[in-house]
């Protein structure tokens, strides 16, 4: 693997799960949990004649961001499209559990200054959701991760990082939505039903998955940033994501709740207002919404660099 | 239809083991593979286990692996490969990369100390 300095310069899109896990935390601070050497691969894939991976496509571990212990979960899209099975799911669940146990310990040992050492969880998504080969075990894994995220609420921040090739779709789209903060790059894509599946189910007239420009302006980071579905948009490098995560660590914990998109009656009402506006505004394209929120030349926004984009873009104003 | 397991054993002329206790490289993407190298006392031999969905390429694996062991004078190493249709050239490249990884210092911090 590249050394830490070189990892920082890497495009986030190109970085594999392990490179992201090592590169998103401070230099030399990452320790992997259940590493390839533990050979915890899927028990279900061999009987189906499907290739296995020692880490089951999920890298988990602990690192530091300044004084904060950071529990990292990083998904590998190249292995069965990053789909989550039983082992990978269990690794995700246990990592969040460990973060919560660490929270209890830190609070007990240093009650006066525990906020400086408050653990955080970072999930680097690259997945299409459930690994269908493992059916119920894959589905259950999703539910259990959601459970853990709910348990962590009000205790430690859970941050989603989305900027890898496969994007974040399917059941894991729900999981990402349930986190506290979402950081994306313009190459990151977030949604529930992926473009190919929409095309397959509803036809090419509904959604042309081969039209990359359409796919990115509908599911990509820029659109999610305008719609407030993601909180931060960064450039496509490991360093840029890391810098943003460090800044998030400076947000006082009580304020983290404000970044959430779902999880309270108020937030449900905000989402329902959005559903209503889909009828009243009647957008035919994602960019109609960009225009609606005050961006007069949406196509120009799609073409410019993230830096220029952030300087000029107008976002939906949140009511909360 | 189940996954196949191939086992090999090789012996180089003047075998020497790897620097790290273990090293890992690669992602099991389509047409790719991962390899885990572990230092192990095997009387100078190299043992390899390949897990693959592909049938009929045992001889090719043997030739590729024998060459890597011979060229690098490897010994006392246990190698485990998870393959997903890697071509022989990809396989030998990944093995070389893994050996380079295995010859790095144990931890990055030590490198700078």
pLDDT in tens, B2-41: 899 999 999 999 999 999 999 999 999 999 999 999 999 9
Mean pLDDT of A199-223: 95
pLDDT grade, residue B108 (50/70/90)?
A: low
CATH number assigned to the domain comprising residue B56: 3.30.230.10
Specify if B94 maps to a domain. yes
Give me the residue from A17, A36, A49 closest to B2, CB to CB. Answer: A49
Residue B63's contacts (CB-CB under 8 Å, 6 or more residues apart) are: B88
Specify if B39 maps to a domain. yes
Mean pLDDT of A109-131: 96
Residue-wise pLDDT for B23-32, tens only, equals 999 999 999 9
User: Is ipTM beyond 0.90?
Assistant: yes
pLDDT grade, residue A1 (50/70/90)?
A: confident
Structural domain for B62, as ranges: 23-105
Residue B77's contacts (CB-CB under 8 Å, 6 or more residues apart) are: B17, B18, B37, B38, B39, B40, B42, B46, B47
Count of domains for chain B:
1
Q: Does B53 touch chain A (CB under 8 A)?
A: yes
Beta-carbon separation of A54 and B52 below 8 A = no
The matching CATH number, chosen from 3.30.530.80, 3.90.226.10, 3.40.640.10, 3.40.50.2000, for A4-190+230-261 is: 3.90.226.10
Specify if B44 maps to a domain. yes
Cα dihedral across residues A246, A252, A257, A259: positive or negative: negative
Domain layout of chain A by residue ranges:
4-190+230-261
Residue A282's contacts (CB-CB under 8 Å, 6 or more residues apart) are: none
Residue B107: predicted pLDDT: 66
Specify if B10 maps to a domain. no
Residue B110: predicted pLDDT: 46
Beta-carbon separation of A37 and B38 below 8 A = yes
Residue B109: predicted pLDDT: 52
Residues of A numbered 54-93 whose beta carbons fall under 8 angstroms of chain B's beta carbons: which are they? 54, 76, 78-79
Specify if B74 maps to a domain. yes
Residue-wise pLDDT for A293-317, tens only, equals 999 999 999 999 999 999 999 999 9
Q: What are phi and psi of A165, to 5 degrees?
A: -55, -45
């Amino acid at each position: 693997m590249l050394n830490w300095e070189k990892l920082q310069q890497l495009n986030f899109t190109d970085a594999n799960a392990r490179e992201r896990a090592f590169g998103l935390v401070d230099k030399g601070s990452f320790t992997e949990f259940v590493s390839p050497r533990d050979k915890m691969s899927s028990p279900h894939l061999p009987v189906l004649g499907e290739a296995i991976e020692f880490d089951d496509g999920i890298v988990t571990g602990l690192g530091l961001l300044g004084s904060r212990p950071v529990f990292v979960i990083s998904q590998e899209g190249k292995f069965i499209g990053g789909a989550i099975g039983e082992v990978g799911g269990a690794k995700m669940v246990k990592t969040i559990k460990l973060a919560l146990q660490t929270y209890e310990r830190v609070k007990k040992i240093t009650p006066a200054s525990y906020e400086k050492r408050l653990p955080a969880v970072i999930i680097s998504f690259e997945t299409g959701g459930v690994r269908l080969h493992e059916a119920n075990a894959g589905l259950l894994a999703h539910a259990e991760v959601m459970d853990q995220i709910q348990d962590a609420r009000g205790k430690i921040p859970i941050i989603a990082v989305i900027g890898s090739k496969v994007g974040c779709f399917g059941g894991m789209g729900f999981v990402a939505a349930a986190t506290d903060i979402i950081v994306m790059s313009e190459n990151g894509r977030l949604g529930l039903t992926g473009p190919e599946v929409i095309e397959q189910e509803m036809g090419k007239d509904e959604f042309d998955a081969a039209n990359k420009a359409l796919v990115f302006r509908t599911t990509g980071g820029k659109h999610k940033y305008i719609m407030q579905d993601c909180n931060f948009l960064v450039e496509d490098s490991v360093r840029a994501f890391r810098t943003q995560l460090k800044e998030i660590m400076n947000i006082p914990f009580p304020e983290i709740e404000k970044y959430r998109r779902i999880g309270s009656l108020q937030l449900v009402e905000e989402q329902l207002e959005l559903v209503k506006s889909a009828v009243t505004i009647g957008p035919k394209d994602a960019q109609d919404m960009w225009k609606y929120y005050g961006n007069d030349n949406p196509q120009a926004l799609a073409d410019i660099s993230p830096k220029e984009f952030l300087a000029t873009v107008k976002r939906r104003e949140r009511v909360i | 239809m189940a996954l196949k397991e191939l086992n090999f054993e090789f012996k180089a002329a003047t075998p020497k083991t790897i620097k790290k206790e273990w090293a890992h490289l690669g992602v099991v993407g389509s047409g790719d593979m991962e390899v885990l190298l572990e230092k192990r006392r095997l009387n100078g031999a190299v043992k390899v286990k390949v897990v693959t969905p592909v049938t009929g390429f045992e001889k090719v694996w043997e030739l590729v692996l024998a060459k890597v062991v011979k060229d690098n004078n490897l010994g006392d190493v246990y190698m485990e490969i998870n393959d997903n249709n890697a071509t022989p050239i990809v396989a030998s490249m990944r093995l070389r990369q893994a050996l380079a990884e295995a010859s790095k210092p144990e931890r990055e911090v030590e490198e700078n100390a």
